[in-house]
Amino acid sequence: MTGDYSRDRRIVKTDEFSSVFRLRPAFRTAHFVLYTRSNQLNHARLGIVAAKRFAPRAVTRNTIKRITRELFRQAALPALDCIVRLSRPVNSKTGPATSARLKAELRTELAQLLLSRSKAEDKG
């Protein structure tokens, strides 16, 4: 566990996102898609895409990003570029922006996504 999410551990440039998106999705869950590509660095990097059309409230999008970053810091991933993309709506404008139940569901789903990537690397 590195506990680090400094700028060099983030995917921030458009061309970096595009190069990972060109590859097929590695894993899917009910609401998220994980894209990965190996990199030439000593560590993994993370990019997060949470579109407004799938999470209309900023509070919800920020919660998704916060949980994803926390789980990424805790995961022992090899030298990969990982992009987590929200692919289905998690709530609506009329419902609550976040709740303990929603946070727990998001945490479980995102942990499953990152864990599946770690297990795939162990096998390969």
Tens of pLDDT, residue by residue over 88-98, are 998 877 777 78
Within a domain: 16: yes
pLDDT score of 3: 60
Residue 52, pLDDT above cutoff 90: yes
Residue 73: domain span: 7-117
* Confidence at 122, pLDDT banded by 50, 70, 90: low
Where residue 74 sits, what CATH number does that domain have? 3.30.230.10
CA angle 72, 29, 121 (to 5 degrees): 50
pLDDT score of 39: 87
Give the global pTM. 0.84
Provide the domain count of the chain.
1
pLDDT score of 1: 44
**Distance (Å, rounded) from C-alpha 119 to C-alpha 116?**
5
**pLDDT digit string, tens, across residues 9-26:** 888 888 888 888 888 878
Within a domain: 2: no
Within a domain: 122: no
pLDDT score of 78: 85
